[in-house]
């Protein structure tokens, strides 16, 4: 909304305040400032001149005229001009040499078309008054010669542009903004709607309301004998232009002017094109209407229409129909002013993609009491400026609507703000808004609910604050504030008018024991550990395609194929919620490789979505008018899938980079297993590793990851067919592990271990075992056999060759022994080592390898 300061001052006795000071007050009151634009302050040396003589110059491609213009100086000025819409004797605006036009355009004396031109005769566009550049601006006869055009036309002005949010539709008018400014400065407000129309003497053009849900007030007035050639006065065109609207014609300009001034959209019909009674109703199936923008629109049964016997003639509150528009020959006019359903107009506007200045106001809420006043002012201006004759009578179709009343404790605004507002302050501020405040409330109000007269009560608030009847007030909002429907709305009005800057800034105290949960700390530790190991974190959309199940080679009965389908997916290609992290990671890997990154290590943490057995496929949709019951919340919970948290990694190319220091090392299944070990280590858990066959991994290079007897994930090299299906690099490896299961198995708080001051004793042992024997089983046997003296065990070599025999492998371990209370002897460490070897021999058939 663009608000010219000069227009604002017409209704508010502002002190000597600048536009910036006014804008600061409006911002403090809760209106958002977009911009402040100055007009005419750079214009100088523009005066009124009278054209004395005109000489038509020939020999040029376009009309050129050499004019003598009297400007009140000693001698007339000679000016060359290309416009032809003025004659000798006309008064015109003239820029003298040295003068400046809007935008900093300087005008001087120069020779052109073989003649000296001492200045410039101006059009409206050149003076910044509009877009009309078709000819010179001709001033009314009798305008003083030599007068300053800037002062004469009021070119100097400042325009405050505000962004109007949906809840303050009243500010889409000069009237609404002026009321806010008057309140902010504490000065008198003169309401432009404070006009008393004449008493109704009978109906004008016949009209009725067929659908009370679409419209509750419809007013028609009529004028005849309007002069279609009458021009809009300059002051009106200037104001419309400054407010961001283009002048069109007098009849249209009057409706637009009053809409900007009062906030009430109006529409003008050509009386001669109307056919019978006008009816406001909803559209019928198959109806169509060609609107003023020359578009034929298919109407929806929910659209609100203005119709006559010929059918639809206007989309109510949005755009008029082409058939009944005011034309260049219209002399008899019917003015319509109405109060339409805000939600109905909003839906209609969006349904047709047709946002107009009228629809912007109706969908935010218009003053229901304005139609009679606005229509009367419109016909007055048509008579005053266009020579029309006002026809007696007015058509006023109305549906009775009771004004809302809201009962609240007088201390409620202070409770919301945390500031002690007195009862008198609350009442005074609400009355400044325009509310009618009466003390007290009847017992029905204090008990809560809605009383028979339509009072919206603050019963729950009253009970909460344990107030008495003397503390209650009943508030009737003004007709121009349809947004005030709730006790919180009234509290906001008091708070904003008292000043947001007066609200205390108090930081809440942090409750003891708050902070990250153990699960949150675990997830952060996992992310840091993988990042330190060389992995890069990615965040993928949690959506997958049904084709991903086939590309991953999942069996038909695999639980991962049972996925939740989105009701409104972002892409029809990926309509399912993921049941595994791998598809997103693999696609991200392919994109990176395709962009030239051949060595990639990625990880992602996030939930997967696994539907519960027997859960409903569709969750119930609840309303927002009340809090859901426990049963309704339980029904929603039952429809939700399990959402365990997982971590996944994928690797391709070199995991250890090659360089001047030598060759690198390609990523292998062991790196994926080690990533799983690093994740488990952050949960202070040891993984058990065993061979497995699990899609989408290679059947001979897949490891199952266990914590105790609980399967927590898989790692290894992907199946060649999976690699081919996704277009991955050869020997791509991956790991997926369920963090939720790790978290459930985590031990209690970390206990500080006792640190022994005695030296460590080291023993190396090499065992020969069958090549199919899991390393984890061998290590577990050694640990159990070594007993409490064993501090750590590390596999440092694996050998396969002739020396150990076909079908065997050699595993070499370093075993560290230490006691907490003594230095171990050679005999003690040897005995512990021999016991460990014996346990390995018994469990896995291990043989001690000789030198």
Q: What are phi and psi of 31, to 5 degrees?
A: -95, 135
Rounded distance, CA 738 to CA 579, Å? Answer: 12
Q: In this predicted structure, what is the pLDDT of residue 40?
A: 82
- Has residue 680 got a pLDDT over 60? yes
| CB-neighbour burial class of residue 240 (10 A; exposed 0-12, middle 13-18, buried 19+) | buried
Classify the C-alpha dihedral 22-27-28-31 as positive or negative: positive
Binning the chain into helix, strand and coil, the percentages to the nearest 5 are 30, 30, 40
Q: In this predicted structure, what is the pLDDT of residue 762?
A: 93
Closest by alpha carbon to 331, among 253, 219, 230, 202? 230
Mean pLDDT (whole number) for 533-551: 95
pLDDT tens per residue across span 422-453: 999 999 999 999 999 998 765 444 434 444 34
Rounded distance, CA 728 to CA 652, Å? Answer: 8
Dihedral, CA of residue 671, residue 675, residue 676 and residue 679, to nearest 10: 170
Task: Sort strands 455-456 and 405-409 into parallel, antiparallel or unpaired.
Answer: parallel
Q: In this predicted structure, what is the pLDDT of residue 126?
A: 87
Task: Sort strands 389-390 and 215-224 into parallel, antiparallel or unpaired.
Answer: antiparallel
Element (H, E) at 666: strand 665-666
Question: In this predicted model, which residue has the larger pLDDT, 174 or 507?
Answer: 174
pLDDT tens per residue across span 347-368: 999 999 999 999 999 999 999 9
Rounded distance, CA 299 to CA 288, Å? Answer: 5
Distances from the Cα of 690 to the Cα of 557, 776, 777, 798, angstroms: 24, 7, 9, 17
- Has residue 177 got a pLDDT over 70? yes
* Residue 586 three-state SS: helix
Q: In this predicted structure, what is the pLDDT of residue 507?
A: 80
pLDDT tens per residue across span 215-263: 999 999 999 999 999 988 888 988 998 898 988 899 999 999 999 999 9
Residue 611 CA, distance from chain mean position: 32
Task: Sort strands 311-315 and 472-476 into parallel, antiparallel or unpaired.
Answer: unpaired
Q: In this predicted structure, what is the pLDDT of residue 153?
A: 84
Rounded distance, CA 52 to CA 110, Å? Answer: 20
Rounded distance, CA 23 to CA 183, Å? Answer: 13
pLDDT tens per residue across span 518-528: 899 999 999 99
Element (H, E) at 536: strand 536-537
Q: In this predicted structure, what is the pLDDT of residue 119?
A: 92
Q: In this predicted structure, what is the pLDDT of residue 451?
A: 43
pLDDT tens per residue across span 140-156: 888 999 999 988 888 88
pLDDT tens per residue across span 636-654: 888 899 999 999 999 999 9
From 132-136, 165-169, 662-666, the region with the lowest mean pLDDT: 132-136
Under 8 Å between Cβ of 606 and 646: yes
| CB-neighbour burial class of residue 104 (10 A; exposed 0-12, middle 13-18, buried 19+) | exposed
Mean pLDDT (whole number) for 538-556: 95
pLDDT tens per residue across span 92-128: 999 999 999 988 888 999 998 889 999 999 988 888 8
List, in order, residues 6 or more apart from 399 with CB less than 8 Å away.
Answer: 209, 212, 215, 216, 217
pTM: 0.64
Residue whose tokens read 């804008």: 23
Rounded distance, CA 230 to CA 616, Å? Answer: 70
Q: In this predicted structure, what is the pLDDT of residue 53?
A: 92
838 band by pLDDT with thresholds 50, 70 and 90: very high
List, in order, residues 6 or more apart from 311 with CB less than 8 Å away.
Answer: 287, 289
pLDDT tens per residue across span 250-309: 999 999 999 999 999 999 999 999 999 999 999 999 999 999 999 999 999 999 999 999
Mean per-residue pLDDT over the chain, rounded:
90
Q: In this predicted structure, what is the pLDDT of residue 618?
A: 78
Mean pLDDT (whole number) for 320-349: 93
- How many CB atoms lie under 10 A from the CB of residue 93? 27
Mean pLDDT (whole number) for 816-844: 93
Q: In this predicted structure, what is the pLDDT of residue 170?
A: 92
Under 8 Å between Cβ of 159 and 2: yes
Q: In this predicted structure, what is the pLDDT of residue 114?
A: 86
Element (H, E) at 571: none
Q: In this predicted structure, what is the pLDDT of residue 720?
A: 95
Hey, what are 135's tokens?
A: 């000819």
Rounded distance, CA 271 to CA 222, Å? Answer: 8
Rounded distance, CA 671 to CA 650, Å? Answer: 10
Q: Where are the beta strands (DSSP E) in 119-255?
A: 120-121, 157-163, 207-209, 215-224
The 3-class secondary structure across 791-825, one letter per residue, is: EEEEEEEEECCHHHCCCEEEEEEEEEECCCCCCCC
Q: In this predicted structure, what is the pLDDT of residue 851?
A: 55
């Amino acid at each position: 909304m663009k608000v010219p300061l000069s227009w604002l001052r017409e209704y508010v006795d502002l002190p000597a305040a600048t536009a910036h000071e006014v804008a600061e007050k409006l911002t403090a009151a809760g209106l958002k400032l977009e911009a402040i634009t100055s007009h005419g302050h750079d214009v100088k040396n523009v005066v009124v001149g009278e054209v004395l003589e005109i000489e038509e110059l020939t020999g040029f491609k376009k009309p050129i005229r050499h004019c003598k213009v009297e400007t009140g100086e000693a001698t007339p000025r000679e000016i060359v001009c290309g416009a032809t819409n003025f004659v000798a004797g006309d008064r015109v605006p003239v820029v003298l040499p040295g003068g400046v036009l809007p935008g900093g355009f300087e005008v001087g004396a120069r020779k052109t078309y073989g003649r000296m031109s001492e200045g410039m005769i101006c059009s409206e566009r050149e003076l910044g008054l509009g877009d009309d550049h078709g000819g010179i601006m001709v001033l009314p006869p009798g305008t003083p010669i030599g007068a300053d055009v800037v002062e004469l036309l009021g070119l100097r002005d400042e325009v405050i542009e505000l962004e109007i949010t949906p809840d303050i539709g009243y500010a889409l008018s000069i009237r609404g903004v002026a009321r806010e400014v008057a309140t902010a400065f504490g000065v008198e407000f003169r309401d432009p709607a404070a006009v008393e129309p004449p008493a109704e003497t009978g109906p004008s053009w016949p009209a009725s309301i067929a659908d009370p849900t679409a419209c509750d007030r419809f007013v028609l007035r009529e004028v005849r004998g309007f002069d279609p050639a009458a021009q809009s006065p300059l002051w009106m065109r200037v104001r419309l232009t400054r407010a961001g609207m283009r002048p069109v014609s007098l009849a249209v300009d009057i409706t637009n002017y009053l809409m900007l001034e009062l906030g009430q959209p109006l529409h003008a019909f050509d009386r001669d094109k109307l056919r019978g009674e006008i009816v406001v109703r909803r559209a019928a199936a198959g109806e169509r209407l060609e609107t003023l923008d020359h578009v034929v629109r298919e109407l929806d049964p929910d659209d609100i229409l203005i119709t006559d016997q010929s059918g639809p003639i206007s989309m109510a509150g949005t755009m008029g129909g082409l058939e009944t528009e005011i034309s260049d020959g219209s002399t008899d006019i019917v003015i319509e002013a109405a109060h339409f359903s805000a939600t109905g107009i909003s839906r209609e506007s969006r349904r047709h993609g047709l946002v107009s200045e009228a629809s912007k106001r109706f969908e935010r809420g218009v003053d229901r009491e304005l139609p009679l006043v606005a229509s009367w002012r419109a016909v007055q201006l048509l008579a005053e400026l266009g020579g029309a004759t006002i026809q007696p009578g007015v058509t006023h179709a109305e549906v009775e609507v009771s004004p809302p009343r809201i009962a609240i404790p007088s201390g409620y605004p202070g409770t919301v703000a945390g500031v002690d507002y007195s009862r008198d302050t609350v009442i005074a501020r609400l009355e400044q808004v325009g509310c009618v405040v009466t003390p007290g409330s009847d017992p029905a109000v204090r008990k809560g609910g809605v009383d028979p007269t339509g009072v919206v009560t603050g019963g729950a608030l009253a009970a909460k604050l344990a107030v008495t009847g003397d503390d209650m007030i009943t508030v009737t909002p003004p007709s121009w504030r349809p947004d005030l429907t709730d006790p919180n709305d009234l509290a906001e009005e008091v708070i904003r008018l008292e000043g947001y800057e007066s609200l205390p800034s108090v930081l809440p105290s942090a409750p003891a024991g708050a902070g990250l949960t153990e699960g949150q700390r675990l997830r952060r530790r996992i992310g840091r550990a993988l990042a330190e190991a060389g992995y890069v974190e990615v965040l993928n959309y949690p959506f997958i395609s049904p084709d991903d199940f086939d590309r991953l080679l999942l069996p038909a009965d695999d639980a991962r194929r049972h996925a939740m389908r989105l009701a409104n997916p972002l892409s029809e290609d990926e309509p399912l919620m993921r049941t595994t992290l791998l598809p997103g990671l693999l696609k991200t890997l392919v994109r990176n490789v395709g962009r030239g990154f051949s060595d990639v290590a990625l990880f992602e943490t996030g939930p997967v979505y696994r539907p519960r057995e027997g859960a409903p496929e569709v969750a119930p949709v609840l309303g927002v008018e009340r809090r859901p019951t426990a049963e309704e919340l339980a029904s929603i919970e039952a429809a939700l899938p399990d959402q365990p948290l997982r971590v996944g990694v994928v690797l391709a190319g070199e995991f250890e980079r090659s360089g001047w220091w030598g060759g690198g090392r390609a990523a292998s299944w062991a790196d994926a297993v080690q990533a799983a070990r690093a994740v488990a280590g952050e949960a202070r858990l040891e993984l058990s590793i065993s061979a497995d066959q699990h899609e989408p991994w290679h059947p001979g290079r897949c490891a199952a990851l266990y914590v105790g007897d609980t399967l927590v994930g898989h790692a290894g090299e992907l199946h060649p067919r999976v690699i081919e299906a996704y277009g991955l690099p050869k020997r791509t490896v991956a790991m997926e592990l369920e963090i939720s299961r790790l978290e459930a198995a985590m031990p209690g708080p970390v206990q500080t271990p006792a640190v022994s001051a005695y030296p460590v004793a080291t023993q190396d042992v090499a065992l020969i075992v069958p090549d199919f024997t899991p390393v984890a089983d061998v290590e577990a046997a050694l640990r159990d056999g070594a007993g409490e003296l064993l501090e750590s065990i590390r596999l440092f070599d694996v050998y396969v060759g002739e020396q150990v025999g076909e079908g065997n492998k050699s595993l070499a371990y370093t075993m560290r022994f230490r006691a907490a209370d003594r230095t171990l002897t050679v005999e003690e460490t040897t005995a512990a080592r021999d016991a460990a070897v014996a346990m390995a021999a018994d469990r896995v058939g291990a043989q001690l390898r000789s030198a």
